[in-house]
Structure 1
Amino acid sequence: MEKQEKATAYWKENKKYLIILLSIWFLVSFGAGIIFKDYLNNFKIGGFKLGFWFAQQGSIYVFVVLIFVYVRLMNNLDKKYGYDE
């Protein structure tokens, strides 16, 4: 694989991961915390309504998990294309 083709394929896959992970983050933070709040408030977690929980803490937890997922995906991607150190 040529160097330019390798770099193009690397960034294409990287952008795919970013779009997927940012979409998940958007759905959890904006969707669960705002749009689907009324429906989620029918359920409780730890004594709090689920919509409120997502708006206050759940989206932050999901964001932190997504950071670790992104690090793992990028480490695997770097190894796949030979960019690991």
Structure 2
Amino acid sequence: MNLTERHRAYWRRNIALTVSLLLIWFGVTFVAGYHASALNQFDFLGFPLGFYLFAQGSLIVYLAIIVIYVWTMNRLDRRYRVHERR
């Protein structure tokens, strides 16, 4: 199957978005987890910061990643005219 230049540009942007959001996910999940004991020296809303990041903060970031992906992909689909027709 031959892809047009428009399709290649669409997939390049799709992959760039996915990689950047995965890097954010990795940072929140693993990098912050690695430094959790150091983060626990600080308090946030009365809880140790490391605990708060994993109990609440990481879930908020994960939700934001999903919202950003959906919103951006909908814009890309309309821009490159590859959105679903109903």
Normalising to structure 1: TM-score of the pair? 0.85
Moved >2 Å (runs of 4+): none
Gaps of 5+ in 2: none
TM-score, structure 2 as length reference:
0.84
Question: What is the DSSP-based 3-state SS (H/G/I as helix, E as strand, rest coil) of the residue aligned with 1:61?
Answer: helix
Please say if residues 29 and 54 of structure 1, whose CA atoms lie closer than 8 Å, have aligned partners that are also in contact: no
Write the distance in 2 (CA, Å) between the matches of 1:7 and 1:45. 46
**Superposition CA RMSD, Å:** 1.7
**Superposition pairs for residues 30-69 of structure 1, below 5 Å?**
30-32=30-32, 34-69=33-68
Does the 8 Å CA contact 1:38/1:51 hold for their aligned counterparts? yes
* Structure ranking higher in helix proportion: 1
Paired residue for 1:74? 73
SS in 1 for 2:4: helix
Q: Which stretches in structure 1 are left out of the alignment for 5+ residues?
A: none
How many residues align structurally? 83
The structural deviation recorded for 1:38 is 2.2
**Shift of residue 55 of structure 1?**
2.0
User: Identity, % of aligned pairs?
Assistant: 40
Alignment deviations for residues 18-77 of structure 1 (CA, whole Å, 9 cap, x no partner)? 000011011011111x21212221221221111111122221111011100111110111
